[in-house]
Every structure is written in C-alpha cells, then in structure tokens.
Amino acid sequence: FAMMKTAVLLLVVGWFVVGEALWPLPTSMQTGPDSVCVSSSQFSITSPCALVNDAINRYQESNLFFPVTGTNGIGYSVPVTVNSCIDKIDYGTDESYTLTLEKSGGKITAPTTYGAIRAIETLSQIFVYNSDGCYDITNLSLTIHDSPRFLWRGFMLDTARHYLSLDTIKMQLDAMSYAKYNVFHWHMIDAQSFPIIIEAQPALAKQGAYKYPEATYGPEDILDIVEFANARGIRVVAEMEVPGHAASWGKGHPEIVAHCPEYESNINNIPLNPSIQKTYEVVFAVLSQVSALVPDDWVHIGGDEVVYGCWFSDPEISAWADENQFDGNDIMKFFEDHVEQFLNILRRKRIVWEEVFLAGALSGTIDTIVQVWENADTMQKVVDAGYEGLQSYGWYLDKQIPSITVPETTHYEWVDTWQDMYSVEPTDNITGDLSLIIGGEGTMWAEQVNDETIMTRIWPRAGAVAERLWSAKDITDIDAALPRLEDFGCRLKRRGIASSPLQPGYCDNTTFFQYNEY
C-alpha cells in the first residue's frame, strides 16, 4: 500500500471551505479564489464506462448530487475519462482519481472504473445549495488528486445473531460507498443461526435458520448483494465461521458437532466435530456453493474462540484425539489443513481470525490473511511471521469501550466512541515490514442490533474507521474532524440512512450541520 502525505490547502470563500466538507479527506487538494453557482437542471456528467454511467444515473436519480432542485445558475459539465473500464473490483484494484474543477467546467480522470466512482462521490460532496436556487462550487480552480492509503478498507456485518433484511444490507452498502469502503465482510453464519440456504445440504438452513425460509438468504439473494456491492466499488468477502461457533450447523446435522453437556450452557462453545468425514463433506458443500456465488478470491473461514474443552469432553472426539496424540492445537491444524485443501480445489485464498495463526494451525503458506482483533502485540507476531494482516482491534462498534490504548476509559455519550476509533492507527507500535498491514475492518456484531436499530449504531462512527483507512496517517485531529463527520452524518440523513448525531444541532435537505455558538 502507499502511505501518502496530504497537502490540503483550505481557502475560505464566503462561509464554505471545500476541505471542511469532504469525508474522507483526499490525498491532496489545491484550491483557488473563485466560485460559480451551478444549475442542477443544466449539470451534465458523462462517461464511456457502463458501470460509471450506472453510478452517475444512481447519483442523479437519487438526488445525491443535488438534494433539491435548483433552477437558477449556469450550465456545468464534468466529463469522465477512464483508462480501463473494468467491471469487477478485486483486491488491489486502482481506486485513484483526479478531479479538476474550473469556472468553465470540470473533468474526472481515473485509471479504472472504480477510481471514477470514488471521484463521483467526492464531487457530490462539493456542491453546496445556495438560497438563490443554485449550487455553489467554491475554491476554484480546484484540483484533487486522491488515492487510498490502504488497499483493504472493510466493514464486517454479522447477519447470524440477528437476521438482517436485504434492504438493510443494501443500505449499509450504500453508506459504505459514501465513505469509500471497498470490502463488505459478510459474517454469514454463527452459533445462533444458519441463514444461508445450501442446496446440497438443505437441512442446514431448514433447521438452523431462525425461521425458514423467511429469515434466510438464498442463492439469488447472495448474487443480488454481490452485484449491488460491485456496482458501488465494494467486494463481498464471505465468512463461514468454522470450526467454532457451530451450534447452528448441528440443528440440521447433529452428528457433525461436538457434544459436551458441561459447556453447552453457552451456545458459542459448541464446535464442529473434526473427527468424522461427514463434517468435511458438509463444510465442503458450504464452501463450494458460497464460492460459486461470491466471486472474490478471498474467503474468510473464521477460526476464532474455539473451545478446546468441548472437544475433549466429547467421548468420540476425545478418543480420536488420544489415538492420534492430538492436543487442541493439533486438532485445529488437522481441521485447517482440510479447509485449505478445499479452498485450493475451489481456487480461493483464506482469511482467518488471529486464533488460527496463534494456534500454529496454518500450514506455512504465506497466501493467508490474518485478521487481528485483540491488540498490536498479535499484529507484530503476524508481521514477523510474514503474513499479511488486517486490523480490527479498536474498531468493534458493538463494544462500549472500544479503546485499546486506555481500556478503562469510556464516554458518557456512547457515540463519542468514534473518537477512540479515529485515534487507532494500524501501524502504531509495529516494527518490520509495515506493507504487510494491508488495511483493516470495522465490525458490527449483531447480538443487540436489528433492522430497526443497526444504522444508527454503525453511522457515523464507521466513518471514523473509513477515514483512518483512506486518508493520510497524519490526519488525526479530532477537533478538526468533528464538524466534517457531523456534516457526513447529515449527508447520510439526506440520503435516507439513519445516522446518530454527535452533538446538539440541526441539518435538513439543503444545509450542512448547524449549531449555535454562545
């Protein structure tokens, strides 16, 4: 990844400063003293790329450029030039762009489709409604050169603890695109429910979902989400949580989970049974179907919080382990070796939670990404071992105290935890090859969120993680970020996405966040 220094010149024209409106902040921005007021009905933006034109149509039809119609002002054109009209975003896809705006018109240039889509979002944040009935573009001539600091900027959504509707998932994807996230980590399955319909193993969802078929995702639903995300520059990375957190698998196939009465008071304690062939047949069927539906090269196979004691409390598994002289880490490696073979057959690469790495259960191949959720000490071990790492510690949006630097400190107003998340730097206290830290992910575990509450729990706090992953390392000023993040929250509200406020104030369809100073 590239760590770019930011050179952002903030020049005031009237009451509006372009650099105080953008989220996330771009890599560099040069501004001037002029302005124009544009008619929303005479604005034009065109591209030779189908997906870019789809994005343009989406922004126009949903009033994302212009929340209200402005009949006054001048005509203004912004042609889009793209070097490569690719139609699928992958890990490493170039998302850079240049946006140039003059009094006479503007232009966007980008190496790929997805850089152009990022530029369109930035452009949409620059227009400011004027009471004269037009939209101001200030700080002209304006040139923005922009590219993400990290290649992997993800958000994990848990749809197993509570089933989330397709509309909610799509709303989250829209919001992610506005913050320039590029990975939707879909935590599909967990102990509480198995909502994915696997055609070769229908009992999994029929018995394991909260309600079948209402609270399930069929193949057509998954394809729909993948297409929806791709059009917004977001990869879908599916997570199959194995071998732990597997109670829901056992609803349809009791024989493939461990049976350990002394541990079963906590549903999260029950893992898969690694000692029988049937378990691997079911796991392969799940991985096969999900890989056929989700085209990304990477599959997340979980591996966190496996309760070894449950394995050794199951007589069948315990006897098998004794026969093979396996301890808990040996069992983990035995299981992970099978999963790696399956992924090789399916031509997929794996992501694991840190516990798989810490157990020594990786086969030695470096073609694995380790997601770290506890602390920088673990990330240091991942880097030292030569694996690519994703950071999630400090970015658990479900936690009351997400801070990793001052863990005993919390906030009277919980939404202020965005400040803790904004202060987490992925490379802090890490030495060695920092290029192995390829990015990170915010996470929302769903024990206490559902369709009705989840957006306000995620937004605008997830914006703090998004800017940390997109913008330069030295963009860290919380006081300077607050009004921009509040404006970002207002923008989400205008776009139909519920977002919690950060302080007393007001915003509507035409204004930025307003507050009174005394």
Token output for 101: 């705006």
Q: Per DSSP, what are the bridge partners of residue 78?
A: 45
Residues paired with 237 in a beta bridge: 185
Helices and strands in the chain: count of H runs, count of E runs? 16, 17
Task: For CA atoms 101, 102, 106, 110, give the dihedral sign.
Answer: negative
List Cβ neighbours of 267 (8 Å cut-off, separation of 6 or more).
191, 192, 247
- Residue 281 known to be catalytic: no
CA-to-CA dists, residue 251 to 207, 301, 335, angstroms: 5, 20, 21
In the chain, helix, strand, coil percent, each to 5?
A: 35, 20, 45
Q: What is the CA radius of gyration of the chain?
A: 24
d(CA 518, CA 505): 13
Please state the φ and ψ torsions of residue 213, each to the nearest 5 degrees: -95, 5
Exposed/middle/buried for 268, CB within 10 Å: 0-12, 13-18, 19+? middle
Spatial separation of the C-alpha atoms in residues 11 and 317, rounded to whole Å: 68
Closest by CA position to 75, among listed 142, 137, 144: 137
Residues near 85 by Cβ (< 8 Å), separated by ≥ 6? 48, 49, 50, 51, 52, 113
**Which is catalytic among the residues 20, 102, 264, 305?**
305
Which tokens hold the place of 410? 């919390």
Q: Which residues are catalytic?
A: 305
